[in-house]
Every structure is written in structure tokens, then in C-alpha cells.
Amino acid sequence: MPLSSLTTELGNSSLEARGIITTLFDEWEEALLRGVRVVTPQKPQAARSRARSILAAVQGGVVILQATSRTDYLGAALTTALDDLRPAAVPAT
């Protein structure tokens, strides 16, 4: 179950639930941040912004996927969020 579902169901039910959900999002963001730092030498704030963009792309794309059964929104969001993190293609010789 994606965190967006938990957020929708529990996020407004109590401050305790909101705290747990916030912690889970923060942990996911930190994991993504470590990955971004491995593949690109971005400045700290740019790397954090990229990690947050990836997280938002996944969560937003999954919400739309659940509502429509269409993966193209998730694919487009992730392509945009990850595009310049991929290694450049090596030209054929």
C-alpha cells in the first residue's frame, strides 16, 4: 500500500498518525537522497529537491494509477524526475 493511501486514510485522524506518516516519508526521502548523491554531484539543496521530486512523482503517479489503472502518468513523472540522472549513452563505434 503506498504511503499516499495511508496519508489519505490516517493522516488527518490524529497527530500521532501524522507523525508516523511524516517519519516514513522522511525515511524514504533520505534513502532517495543517498541514491541521488551516488549518481550525481549535485549541490546539497539541489540533491534534496531531486529526491523530493522523485518521491512526489512516485506518490502522485500511484494515486493516479489507482484511480485510472493507467501507468502512463507514473511513467511520465518518473521519466522527468530521473531523466538527467541516467548515464549518457555511449556512442557506437
Quick: pLDDT tens for 2-58: 555 556 555 567 788 788 888 989 999 999 999 999 988 879 899 999 999 999 999
* Calpha distance 29→26 (Å, rounded): 5
80 C-beta neighbours (distance < 10 Å), count = 12
CA distance 52 to 71: 20
Q: Cell 550525481 appears where?
A: 40
Give the residue among 55, 38, 35, 37 at the shortest CA–CA distance from 46: 37
- Summarize pLDDT for 65-86 with one digit per residue, the tens: 888 999 999 999 999 999 888 7
Amino acid symbol at 54: I
pLDDT of residue 89: 57
HSE (CB half, 13 Å, CA atoms) of 54? 19
Residues 21, 3 contacting (CB under 8 angstroms): yes
